Structure 1
Amino acid sequence: MRLHGQRVVVVGGTSGIGLAVAEAAARDGAGVVVASRRRQSVDSALERLPRGTGGHALDATDETAVRAFFDRLGAFDHLVYTAGEALLMEGLAESDPARAKRFLDTRLWGAYTAVKYGAPKIREGGSIVLTTGTAGRRPLPDTSVAASLCGAMESLTRALALELAPLRVNVVSPGLVRTELWREMSEEDRTGLFEAGAASLPVGRVGTPEDVAEAYLYLMRGGYSTGSVVVVDGGGLLV
């Protein structure tokens, strides 16, 4: 039930939840490879991760680059996809369809492409863990794009779990988590969001990337979960 001696690839593993997953997998004995778009982010992550961790600059929206990345990588055991830009929070009337498309390109089609070219490299007994969010089940105002993404990721996970079986495919659905994805909000608005969230959640606090990383490790370790959506939201769907 440990990841000792296994190889874990985290696309989006240089910050936030992805970096927390990479650190947790390394502590559990896995060899880790992280990839993200910006070389500077990769280098910063490698300073925090154990010696021997692999790091690659990769644009997840570039199909040719993704295919070449997995061809160079060779065999591994688990693929985790957490890549994504800042959360897109805007009303339909004010929305920019081109920006919405870019948001989906990274989070949805990037994941789809990574699975397409990564799945054939995964060893027997391995898994894929994708990322969604609770907006698909409980959308808020100005979250039409995010909610659409989340619903699509859950459906994609279930379909891939059948198509790729016995390779296991699961998805983690975080709630409100204190990460860099909120960076486009003003500091005042971000602080207000976290304070209001902490006051409303049954656990009494906002989540951390380390909280959510435990769900990814569970899904990688556990051989009897596939097509599952694991919600880590501090009870947010209840209130």
Structure 2
Amino acid sequence: MGLQGQRVVVVGGTSGIGLAVAEGAAREGADVVVASRRQENVDAALKVLPEGAWGRVLDATDEEAVRGFFAAVGGYDHLVFTAGDALLLATVAETSVEAARRFLDTRLFGAYTVVKQGVGSIRPGGSVVLTTGTAGQRPLPGSSVASALCGAMESLTRALAVELAPVRVNVVSPGVVRTDLWRTLPEAAREELYRSSAESLPVGRMGEPADVAEAYLYLMRGGYSTGSVVVVDGGGTLV
């Protein structure tokens, strides 16, 4: 049930939730590979991950680059996808179609490309864990594109769980978590979001990347879970 001696690939694993997943897997004895679009992010992640971890620059929307990446990785056990730029938070009137497509390109088609090119190298008993969000269940004003993404990721997960069996495919749905994804908000607005979220949540505090990482680790270990959406939101969808 543990990850000792297994190989875990985290695309988007150089910051936020992805880095927390990589750190958690490494603590359990996994051999960790991380990938990100920016070399400086890869370098920074490798400074905090244990010796033996390795990373590479990767644009998940570039299929040839993704194919080459998995050729270099070779056989492995678990694929985690957490890659994505800052959240697109704007009304339909304020959002260009081009901006919406760019947002979906990385998070939806990037995930699709990574799974397509990477699944063939997953060893027996392995898994894929994708990322969605609670905006699909509780959309807010200005979250139309993000909400559409969340719905698409949940449906994609279920379809892949059937198509790629016996490889297990699951998805984690975080609520508001203290990560760089909110960096497009002005600092005052961001801190107010964190404060109001903490006050409204049943758990009484903000979520941290390590809180959400536990769900990814569980889904990698749990050999009887597939097609599942695991919500980690401090009870946010209840209030």
Q: Which of the five TM-score ranges fits, normalised by the shorter chain?
A: over 0.9
Determine the structure 1 residue equivalent to 2:89: 89
Report 1:171-182 matches (<5 A). Answer: 171-182=171-182
Determine the structure 2 residue equivalent to 1:145: 145
**Which whole-Å CA distance do the structure 2 matches of 1:205 and 1:99 have between them?**
32
SS at match of 1:138: coil
Determine the structure 2 residue equivalent to 1:200: 200
CA drift of 1:123 comes to 0.1
1:184 matches 2:187: no
Measured against aligned partners, the alpha-carbon deviations of 1:77-119 in whole angstroms (never above 9, x if no partner) come to 0000000000000000111211111110100000000000100
**Which whole-Å CA distance do the structure 2 matches of 1:167 and 1:217 have between them?**
16
Instruction: Give TM-score scaled by structure 2 length.
Output: 0.99
CA drift of 1:209 comes to 0.1
- Give, as a single letter, the amino acid of the residue that structure 1 aligns with 2:179: T
1:11 matches 2:11: yes
**Which whole-Å CA distance do the structure 2 matches of 1:118 and 1:31 have between them?**
17
**More off after superposition, 97-106 vs 151-160:** 97-106
Report 1:84-123 matches (<5 A). Answer: 84-123=84-123
Instruction: Give TM-score scaled by structure 1 length.
Output: 0.99
Measured against aligned partners, the alpha-carbon deviations of 1:55-98 in whole angstroms (never above 9, x if no partner) come to 00001111110111111211000000000000000000111211
**Which whole-Å CA distance do the structure 2 matches of 1:26 and 1:69 have between them?**
20
1:164 matches 2:164: yes
1:221 matches 2:221: yes
Determine the structure 1 residue equivalent to 2:78: 78
CA drift of 1:126 comes to 0.3
Sequence identity, in percent? 72
**Which whole-Å CA distance do the structure 2 matches of 1:46 and 1:115 have between them?**
24
Unpaired runs of 5+ residues, structure 1, are: none
Report 1:17-28 matches (<5 A). Answer: 17-28=17-28
**More off after superposition, 98-107 vs 20-29:** 98-107
Unpaired runs of 5+ residues, structure 2, are: none
Determine the structure 2 residue equivalent to 1:51: 51
CA RMSD of superposed structures (Å): 0.4
**Which whole-Å CA distance do the structure 2 matches of 1:191 and 1:233 have between them?**
18
**Which whole-Å CA distance do the structure 1 matches of 2:31 and 2:72 have between them?**
16
**More off after superposition, 59-68 vs 122-131:** 59-68
**Which whole-Å CA distance do the structure 2 matches of 1:17 and 1:37 have between them?**
16
- Give, as a single letter, the amino acid of the residue that structure 1 aligns with 2:184: E
CA drift of 1:54 comes to 1.0
SS at match of 2:123: strand
SS at match of 2:135: helix
CA drift of 1:40 comes to 0.4
SS at match of 2:77: strand
SS at match of 1:141: coil
CA drift of 1:164 comes to 0.3
- Give, as a single letter, the amino acid of the residue that structure 1 aligns with 2:52: G
